[in-house]
């Protein structure tokens, strides 16, 4: 089972990169059974809107994951419950709108579970991500061997710990949120593909997606400033996964970084 995971799509430049580069990636690495994209920064750098969700579906995205910025565009409360492929972190309180995991039928009718969990360190007050994973796996492990976790977290140590905790229980642990692709992609001892951060799909002449000028002003003056989405040096970051059709174990994980 070949799966493409696209790193945090940042604003209009990131969406343009997905639109223009996805066909090239499918031609080079595919065809993919499923395509997953983290979309929590897709609307002006924070959150996601209904038209953008529709745009992603039309591009062939199978599942959209998010993170701590999921609620930044208030309109999401009006549609997230109706978009079963749009996820928010599963470790929000139980009565939170939306869902934190989904099982989909892939292109050739295999079952794939995608789980979205947020870390605790330096982020909002999410519940324990490790225990959250345990509870979800109790429900999904008897339905499919193919399970991909988007672990949206800030701290490298927490991400690495999650990789070892989930090793042998999920097909892949893909770190998101920090927007800088790490060079530690590998297959762990029990067959789980892992990367600390998959990177950002968006403008790299920036500070993790935003204009350098405003960010440097904030750092040097300590005064508030309105951030703007940068526009230059756009690239798509992601990973191509190849999972065993029977066991769900990862056969390979390959970092992708393609300029627009």
pLDDT at 35 over 90: yes
Least Cα distance to 87 among 64, 104, 56 occurs for 64
177 is catalytic: no
Give me the catalytic one of 69, 146, 152, 179. 69
Per-residue pLDDT tens digits for 49-76: 999 999 999 999 999 999 999 999 999 9
User: Cα-flanking dihedrals φ and ψ of residue 10, to 5°?
Assistant: -110, 105
pTM of the complete model:
0.96
Could you give the angle at the alpha carbon of 199 between the alpha carbons of 255 and 169, nearest 5°?
65
Residue range 111-137, pLDDT digits in tens: 999 999 999 999 878 999 999 999 999
Half-sphere exposure of 246 (CA within 13 A, CB side): 0
Please name each of the domains of the chain with its CATH number.
Answer: 2-259 (3.60.21.10)
Average pLDDT over residues 243-259: 97
Quote the pLDDT of residue 196.
99
């Amino acid at each position: 089972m070949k799966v493409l995971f696209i790193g945090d799509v940042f604003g209009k430049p990131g969406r343009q990169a997905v639109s223009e580069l996805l066909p090239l990636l499918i031609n080079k690495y595919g065809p993919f059974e499923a395509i997953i994209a983290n979309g929590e920064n897709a609307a002006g750098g924070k959150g996601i809107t209904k038209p953008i969700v529709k745009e992603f579906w039309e591009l062939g995205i199978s599942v959209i994951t998010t993170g701590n910025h999921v609620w930044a565009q208030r309109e999401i409360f009006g549609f997230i419950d109706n978009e079963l492929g749009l996820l928010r972190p599963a470790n929000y309180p139980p009565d939170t709108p939306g869902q934190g995991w989904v099982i989909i039928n892939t292109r050739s009718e295999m079952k794939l579970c995608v789980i979205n969990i947020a870390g605790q360190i330096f982020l909002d007050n999410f519940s324990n991500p490790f225990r959250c994973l345990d509870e979800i796996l109790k429900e999904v492990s008897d339905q499919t061997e193919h399970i991909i976790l988007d672990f949206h977290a800030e701290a490298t140590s927490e991400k690495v710990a999650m990789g070892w905790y989930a090793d042998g229980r999920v097909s892949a642990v893909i770190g998101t949120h920090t927007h800088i692709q790490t060079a530690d992609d590998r297959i762990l001892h029990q067959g789980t593909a892992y990367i600390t951060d998959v990177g950002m799909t968006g403008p790299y002449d920036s500070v993790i997606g935003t204009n350098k000028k405003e960010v440097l002003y904030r750092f040097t003056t300590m005064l508030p400033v309105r951030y703007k989405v940068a526009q230059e040096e756009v690239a798509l970051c992601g990973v191509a996964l190849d999972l065993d059709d029977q066991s769900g174990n990862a056969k390979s994980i390959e970092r992708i970084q393609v300029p627009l």
